[in-house]
Every structure is written in C-alpha cells, then in structure tokens.
Amino acid sequence: MSSPPTILVFDSGLGGLTVLREIVAARPDAHYVYVADDAFFPYGHHGEAQIIARVVPLVGELIERHAPDLVTIACNTASTLVMSHLRDAYTVPFVGTVPAIKPACASSKTKRVSVLGTRGTVKREYTHGLIRDFAQGCEVTLVGSPELATLAEAALSGETVSDDDIEVEIAPCFVGAASDASSRTDTIVLACTHYPLLLDRLAKLAPWPVDWIDPAPAIARRVVDLIGKPGDVFDGAGAEMVFTSGRPHTLSQALMPFFGGRVPA
Ligand code: DGL
C-alpha cells in the first residue's frame, strides 16, 4: 500500500462523483484519480458484451498508468456485469456499485420498493438475482430510465433541465394510490450513481415522500474496510480528473465539493 494510498474511481461520466464524495469524506488523506469514460457515455445505451469489451481493458490501462491501491467501479451499469472479469484479470482490490435492494427491502414498511436505474441495470441477471435473494416479501418494481443519467450530467454542467423531463423518468417508480400511505411505494433505490446528483429535484417532484436509497456511504465503508482508516499524517494528497475523450474539464468550481474542496488537476 502506498502512503498516501491512491484510489481510482471510475464511471461512465460524472455520476461516480456521488460515490467519490463519500470516499473522500472517509479517506481525506488519499490521492484520488477520477476517470469519466465520457467517450462511451451513456453505458445504459450499450449492450452487455460491448460494455465488458470496453471496460475490462480500459481499467487495465488505467491500472498500468496510475498504479492505484484500490479501484472503485462507481457505476451500476458496469458493476452488474464486469466485477468478476476485473477480479479475474487484475490483482488490485476492487469495490463495485450494485443496486441497494437488500437494505431498501429491509427498511420498507409498505413492502413496495422501486429500483430506478439505467435500462441496462434493470435488465441484468445480477439485479434479478438480488431481488430473488433479498426482496424479503416486498413487491419490487424495476424502472429503467432512458434519459435520467444524461439529464443529471446536463444539470451538473450548468444546463437547464426541466421538471417535466425529470418527472417523466421517475413517474413509474410511484406505485399505488397517493391517498393510501399504508400501501403505496415508500422506498426507491437510486441504482445509478448519477441520480443522487438530482436528489433535491427528485424529492421535490415526487408525488409523495419516499426514502431514496443511495449506496455511496456503504461503498465508502467498504473501501475503508479494505484499505484501512486514515493515518494521522495529512500531506495534501492530490486529485486528478480524467476524461477518456481527452477533453479538458471546465467544471472546477462545480467539481470541488466532490473532491473534498480540492481542485482536481
Ligand atoms: N452512472 C452509471 C450507473 O451507475 C450509468 C450512467 C450511464 O448510462 O452511463 O449506472
């Protein structure tokens, strides 16, 4: 383990920043490399074989270049497919991001839970397996959103995103009668790391209040389990942001909070 450790966080775009933010809070001393595979965004529009063929060699190149001590795949659309391939191919420890169906179903009181993810994530056999194993008697509604990740990217980049566009994407999550709080959906799994970027708006546009389950804090705890708690010495480790398209990032102000106040190089 290098000191400070280097943690590489990978996503198709800016959504993984919601996971990065929690890891940075748990390990503020670490050096961070955030990689957005924007050249292939959105992953939700690609087939399974294409995603595996894209991500596995790309992560290998990133490991070569940045020598991370741990890699977090901060993308449900990729993690529900590639984790076993990555672990077979490379020795660095990996932490993935998969739909938080188990805690959502454990905490739902009405036993109606929705999983809001990309169309790819809700189709995955991996996701269906989580429901078989962990639904705990809940009725689970899978909602594959075609555009919400793209809308979240646009909003973070300062573009205007209309309420109507967001409402259309989330409406199928709300099952049951608004007037019957004892049986309507009460818990929604944010099964795409982009969606917490829009959390305030999702809560505002929801037809009734629900618990939104964001797995990022649990992922940060897993990272700390694997690489340990921060030491006492903070020596100002840096942060880097890489876009696979090669474009420079122009979002420093908007990105700083996700990097714990650091400006990523
Ligand atoms: N952030 C990704 C996820 O968690 C998906 C966005 C995309 O479609 O690329 O699933």
Average pLDDT estimate for 230-239: 72
Same CATH topology for 6-97+217-259 and 101-214: the answer is: yes
The two three-digit tokens of residue 226, written as one number: 């694997």
pLDDT, tens only, 165-200 = 999 999 999 999 999 999 999 999 999 999 999 999
Domain ranges of the chain: 6-97+217-259, 101-214
Q: What is the pLDDT at residue 255?
A: 87
The two three-digit tokens of residue 167, written as one number: 């409402």
Distances (CA, A) of 261 to 41, 50, 182, 235, 264: 26, 36, 42, 15, 9
Catalytic residues: 75, 192
pLDDT, tens only, 65-115 = 999 999 999 999 999 999 999 999 999 999 999 999 999 999 999 999 999
pLDDT, tens only, 235-263 = 667 899 999 999 877 777 788 899 998 87
User: Is residue 201 pLDDT above 90, yes or no?
Assistant: yes
Q: What is the pLDDT at residue 254?
A: 81
Distance 117 CA to ligand 1 centre (A): 8
Per CATH, the architecture of 6-97+217-259 is what? 3-Layer(aba) Sandwich (3.40)
**In the β-sheet with 239-243, what is the strand arrangement from edge to edge?**
94-95, 70-73, 6-11, 31-36, 239-243
> With bands split at pLDDT 50, 70 and 90, how would you rate the model's confidence at 49?
very high
Residue with CA nearest ligand 1 atom 2: 75
- Counting atoms of ligand 1 from 1, which one is nearest the CA of 97? 4
Answer yes or no: is the C-beta of 6 below 6 A from any ligand 1 atom. no
Q: What is the pLDDT at residue 235?
A: 60
Answer yes or no: is the C-beta of 185 below 6 A from any ligand 1 atom. no
Query: What is the topology classification, in CATH, of domain 101-214?
Result: Rossmann fold (3.40.50)
User: Is residue 119 pLDDT above 90, yes or no?
Assistant: yes
